[in-house]
Structures are given as C-alpha cells and as structure tokens.
Amino acid sequence: GQQLNQSPQSMFIQEGEDVSMNCTSSSIFNTWLWYKQEPGEGPVLLIALYKAGELTSNGRLTAQFGITRKDSFLNISASIPSDVGIYFCAGRLGAGNNRKLIWGLGTSLAVNP
Amino acid sequence: GAVVSQHPSWVICKSGTSVKIECRSLDFQATTMFWYRQFPKQSLMLMATSNEGSKATYEQGVEKDKFLINHASLTLSTLTVTSAHPEDSSFYICSARKTENTGELFFGEGSRLTVL
C-alpha cells in the first residue's frame, strides 16, 4: 500500500542532544499525526496537526505541518533515555468517515545515557 | 485523552485453533475501529476497518474469512483469527476514533499471537 517517506530510518544519539525526523509524501494530506511506539506496546499519539503551517509542541516535542501539506517534521529537544522507541508519522488523505491513515516506516531512536 | 484496551496482550495457540482478540474503548464511544498487523521492526499494516453495526471493510489481500471482525457495540470490536497457522503469528493492534474527534486514532496495547 501507499506509504510515507520517513527519515532517518534510525538514530543513535547522546543524551541531551536534539533530534529531528521528517516525513514527506507526493500527496497532499489534511492531517498529520506523530506516534511513539515502545517494544511490545501499541503506538501512543504524541502530536496531531490539522492545518498547513501549524506548529505544535508537547513538552520537549515540537511538530510542524508543512505549508505544502506534503511533509511534516518532529523535533525532540534535550533527549533523555526514555525517549527511546520507534517514532511513526501518519497522514490522512481526503475526507469521509472511514478515511485511512497512511503510515511512515518509522524512525528508531536510541539514546546513549 | 482516550483509552483503548486490548485483551489478551499475548496468546499462544496450536495450529488449527481459533483465537479471539478483543478491543475496547474504555472512556469513549467509537463508531469506527481499525485493526492493524505489525511484523517485527516494520510499520503498521491496516487489515480492516470496522463500523459499529455494519460489516467490516477489509484491505486488499486480507482474507475476511480468515480474520473475522465484529463491531457489535460502540465500545467493543473483536478480531478472530480462524484456523490459525504459524504464519499468522504477529502483533495485532486495534485503534479507535472518538465519535466527535476530527481524526486522531487511539491505539490499544497490542496483542502478540504466537501459533505453534
């Protein structure tokens, strides 16, 4: 099925460093969502974006809905060991009650204390 | 927030048996629920969309007779893996959308199925 281009695929950083990851698509989305998944758990919603250009923060996390509506980024500032996990972007095309999410392949983050 | 709970969190079964996984929205009503399958170190793969009171919509390549989905109430959807085989072993995750919500999905904890 259709997927988003998410990069980087993995990151290994030192505690305290900032992290940036992004997703791009050839299609226009009307919603961007960022999730974090830890091993053996379901994804947890971090940030939801609904308007082009929207910049939203959740603690040390900041995400933006690209003005072209074809991309989004997630930044994590001052990383800590508990930030470890896989981060997924997801975008929604179109409208309708059953509109599906298109998923990125994930960015695996490892933080060295 | 919104809480979605799955049960069981893990199950081991013999080949040929059927396994039922429940997905419940605990503090909201969900007219739509989604079932995903996830292989190790891969992204989520949508299997089907279920709407309360109607038949589920399956994604291409997903056998509806193999993966039975029932969404009998606004707070419960079930996935039954019928005549399970080792290749059905996977991590199954459900998600639900709040009735009033514009689009955010809330996920259950996932269910790890191992078929021997």
How far is Cα of residue B5 from the mean position of the Cα atoms in its chain? Answer: 11
A88–B103 C-beta distance less than 8 A: no
Cis peptide before B40 (omega within 30 of 0): no
> Stretch B37-54: mean pLDDT, rounded?
90
d(CA B30, CA A97): 12
Write out pLDDT tens, residues A85-98.
Answer: 999 999 988 665 45
B40 touches A at CB < 8 Å: no
The stretch B21-44 carries a mean pLDDT of 91
Q: What is the tens place of the pLDDT at every residue in A45-75?
A: 999 999 999 999 999 999 999 999 999 999 9
- B54 band by pLDDT with thresholds 50, 70 and 90: confident
Q: How many of the other CB atoms lie within 10 Å of CB of A57? A: 12
H helical segments located in B11-92: none
CB A106, CB A7: distance < 8 Å = no
Q: Which of A90-104, B8-22, B82-96 has the lowest mean pLDDT?
A: A90-104
Task: Write out the two tokens for A70.
Answer: 């074809």
Residue type, A85: G
Size of interface A-B (CB pairs under 8 A): 61
Q: How far is CA B48 from the centre of its chain?
A: 8
Q: Using the beta-carbon criterion (under 8 Å), do A98 and B57 form an inter-chain contact? A: yes
Query: Touching check for B61 and chain A: CB below 8 Å?
Result: no
| pLDDT at B93 (0 to 100) | 97
SS3 B103: coil
Reply yes or no on whether the pLDDT at B64 is more than 60: yes
